[in-house]
Structure 1
């Protein structure tokens, strides 16, 4: 009598259609590309970006965040030419497609590149042209979220909000606020977000990662957030989480970076089950693969392993990523159909 067949393995997460809503521009760069561009121009990279990659990071204090930001700034410095920018966008798109991505909203602060590329408008034009090329070559739909830096003056954020508003409907779908959320006063950026809101842009500030529920409330009250970059610590306050669910505010949860930055001690501590049980809309994102070493499908894989998530839950996470996106209706419909087909198909042997 033949032995019983081994149980079928889980479905391939790279084949699961997804929308990717939390990816930073320089942070999307391939490690191999970073090394190649640095060698080309004789840029000496710190060991954490070479032999010790991916770097051991923690943002438990401001010194830790400073070290993280320094690595990001060094990585950004290797982008010297227009072709470098086009390559970064193309490779980010290729990597997302390999991971099942059907739609990408990539976040960029044009002021961080303006000095080298002719100003914020010229750089935005360059990125949007690179996006159009990447869309044609990969088939991935891509849009931009223009993000202000909260460590700079709120007037700079207003300038970027006006820039984003000018491109609303022409490749820019949202406006964000990034960098160390413990720095500055979030309410000071209210006027910048009002400009973006009047333009019909999605409002997606970072909040609820390095700071807790009290900061999430500021993002909701002062900035009128439609989505929260991270927002994972909303799980600490049931009343706040209920408010988020009722308002339909989506959370861009990035599990691997949460652990790498010391927000949680390990992946099993990332409170994804709490968020889902409360009815929150969650879109998993990779944040900065260059610094955290894990791309889009890896976020799904780590949560599957850490919380023993069934494929039905993983499929619903993918559906929520499309629902929370600004993707065109045909892209959303195709993504939903693809998710249904993935779930209806057989598990891997």
Structure 2
């Protein structure tokens, strides 16, 4: 008797997800010292005889919680200790080149790195030489790595607003040499955004992008102040906008990109768990998002890992991850040919079989 074989069933096993490291994207929220590799930090500390805090020597990222003043002080102390290892031209060039290489490995085709040159000026010959060295290092690393790179000069909201105006004028001076924007960083609970309005007016009237930090350690009012007082077109973090439907609508209508950094939000205690970061709420409200790594040296993960957080903890599909990547490109100041190429490459990533 002839045996009749039952029709084979299609496999019900899920296909492997696409590799997010291969997803083309832009990186809009990366701090200069915080981009350093842990191994590089140890080597530079040894080179210059700098004694590092135990938290920076450990193989694990330091335990941080900055939702109170003491916790923020500890975070800042660790950051300052790492920055103290950047003491000469070779150190600066090494950091920038390695940052570009790490970006390329994570699929980033465009990086806007944020720096306060006053932090490096004492060892590099002054404010102007420091910024010129950083810009030259960025230009060189971009050519060598193939990753487009520009600089966003950031003022420190813990310092006097007059210092910010000096930095704004400096940023404007180098607007045609790699500086594309002006930011405002550090503890937003201490320095009010409105106090820096004149500095941002100097920058924006010269055509620089206004991209201050807001809505991380402080709530929605911090973001509103960045919009109303500083003319922000991008918000560093901005994640606390999720607490206000009205503010989310405003950001969505004006297409103001929020540079959301899930790993640092959890590390600093803004949210307890990765799944608590309101990434999907912002995304579904139409707020443009650009995932960022913030300070990988201290938070332990780079850009591609933020997309893995979206996938693993928030259920983002590959189609949604591709849209996040597109939003990062659209929110960037990359030249039009670069934007066009990256957007086409995102589509090509999605068209590949999983």
TM over 0.5: yes
2:257 equivalent to 1:275: no
Q: Deviations over 1:230-271 (max 9, x none)?
A: 000001000111111111111000000000000001010110
Partner of 2:34: 27
Question: Could you tell me how far apart the structure 2 residues matched to 1:264 and 1:162 are?
Answer: 36
Partner of 1:156: 163
2:352 equivalent to 1:341: no
Question: Could you tell me how far apart the structure 2 residues matched to 1:107 and 1:120 are?
Answer: 15
2:242 equivalent to 1:218: no
Equivalence map 1:177-188=2 (5 Å): 177-188=184-195
TM-score (norm 1): 0.98
Partner of 2:263: 256
C-alpha contact (below 8 Å) 1:177/1:204 kept by paired residues: yes
TM-score (norm 2): 0.96
Partner of 1:284: 291
Query: Unaligned regions of 5+ residues in structure 1, if any?
Result: none
Question: Could you tell me how far apart the structure 1 residues matched to 2:47 and 2:173 are?
Answer: 36
Partner of 2:306: 299
Partner of 1:40: 47
C-alpha contact (below 8 Å) 1:231/1:252 kept by paired residues: yes
Partner of 1:65: 72
C-alpha contact (below 8 Å) 1:47/1:53 kept by paired residues: no
Question: Could you tell me how far apart the structure 1 residues matched to 2:176 and 2:218 are?
Answer: 32
Partner of 2:140: 133
2:121 equivalent to 1:114: yes
Matched residue SS, 2:230: coil
Tell which structure's C-alpha radius of gyration is larger. 2
Partner of 2:153: 146
Partner of 1:209: 216
CA RMSD of aligned residues (A): 1.1
C-alpha contact (below 8 Å) 1:174/1:201 kept by paired residues: yes
Q: How many residues align?
A: 347
Cα offset, 1:7, TM superposition: 2.3
Query: Unaligned regions of 5+ residues in structure 2, if any?
Result: none
Question: Could you tell me how far apart the structure 2 residues matched to 1:194 and 1:326 are?
Answer: 19
Equivalence map 1:156-175=2 (5 Å): 156-175=163-182
2:249 equivalent to 1:242: yes
Q: Deviations over 1:270-301 (max 9, x none)?
A: 10111111111000000000000000000000
Relative contact order (C-alpha < 8 Å, sep 6+): which is higher?
1
Partner of 1:200: 207
Cα offset, 1:52, TM superposition: 5.6
